[in-house]
Structure 1
Amino acid sequence: MSTARMVKIKIWSTNVKVLDDFVGKITDIVKKTGVKMNGPIPLPTKKLRIRTMKLPHGEGKKKYEKWEMRIHKRLLYIAEDERVMKQLIRVRIPPEIWMEIEI
């Protein structure tokens, strides 16, 4: 009994539109080759929040500015296939996307 090994691809970005376009390119490549794929699985969005005091605050009321950065993540499982991996290597990765591949 043989089990197909899967490649785990984790992709994350602060820009959700660019992330979805990039994941769409990967899924198109995988569907064209006919390889088994699970995903894209959306993972929980990480929210980084920073509160800073507005300047000049002087002797009056303290006023704060709130900043937030959201990190969107997607997870893909693709069956190991040499043709697909060669095509994935050729895909241009936008500068605001980070990608981690585990074999």
Structure 2
Amino acid sequence: MPTKARIRLWSSNIDSLNFVVNQIRNMAQKTGIQVSGPIPLPTTRMEVPVMRLPHGEGKKKWEHWEMKVHKRIIDIAADERVMRQLMRVRVPDDVYIEIELI
């Protein structure tokens, strides 16, 4: 039987991500479950250079669009009561969550 649950969260909006992480930590602390984390993982930075003039005449001017993806990992004890409460946590649309029993 699994004894821990590993929760992976990622988002391009750091404020929404921290809001969900704080909700999970507060919920686990209220129930008295041991919490490990949040462990911040390296931020993935994706950059796309796009030429401003599509026809290519004149000076080559580039725009750089970038998106940063922030990631966190939280390990909590896999108690049935806590897992049910975890499913009720409101997660914004721009935050992605993955739960794995280890």
TM over 0.5: yes
- Residues 1:77 and 2:75 aligned together: yes
Name the SS of the counterpart of 2:17 in structure 1.
helix
SS in 1 for 2:96: strand
1:6 and 1:28 mapped to 2: Cα distance? 17
Question: What's the CA shift for 1:18?
Answer: 0.6
Is residue 89 of structure 1 aligned with residue 87 of structure 2? yes
Change (3 A) 1:58 1:44: closer
Question: d(CA) in 2 for partners of 1:85 and 1:73?
Answer: 21
Report if the CA contact (8 A) 1:38-1:76 is conserved: yes
Give the partner amino acid of 1:89: M
- TM-score, with structure 2 as normaliser: 0.92
Q: Check whether the contact 1:42–1:73 (CA below 8 A) recurs between aligned residues.
A: yes
**Identical pairs, percent:** 50
Question: After the TM superposition, which residues 1-103 of structure 1 pair with which residues of structure 2 at under 5 Å, given as runs?
Answer: 5-55=3-53, 58-103=56-101
In the alignment, is the contact (CA less than 8 A) between 1:57 and 1:63 conserved in 2? no
Cα distance, 1:82 vs structure 2: 1.0
**How many angstroms does 1:59 deviate by?**
3.0
For this pair of structures, how many residues does the alignment match? 100
CA RMSD of the aligned region, Å?
1.3
Return the letter of the residue paired with 2:82. Answer: V
Whole-angstrom CA distance in 2 between matches of 1:102 and 1:85: 11
Asked whether the equivalents of residues 48 and 69 of structure 1 are also in contact (C-alpha less than 8 Å), the reply is yes
Q: Tell me, which stretches of 5 or more residues in structure 2 are unaligned?
A: none
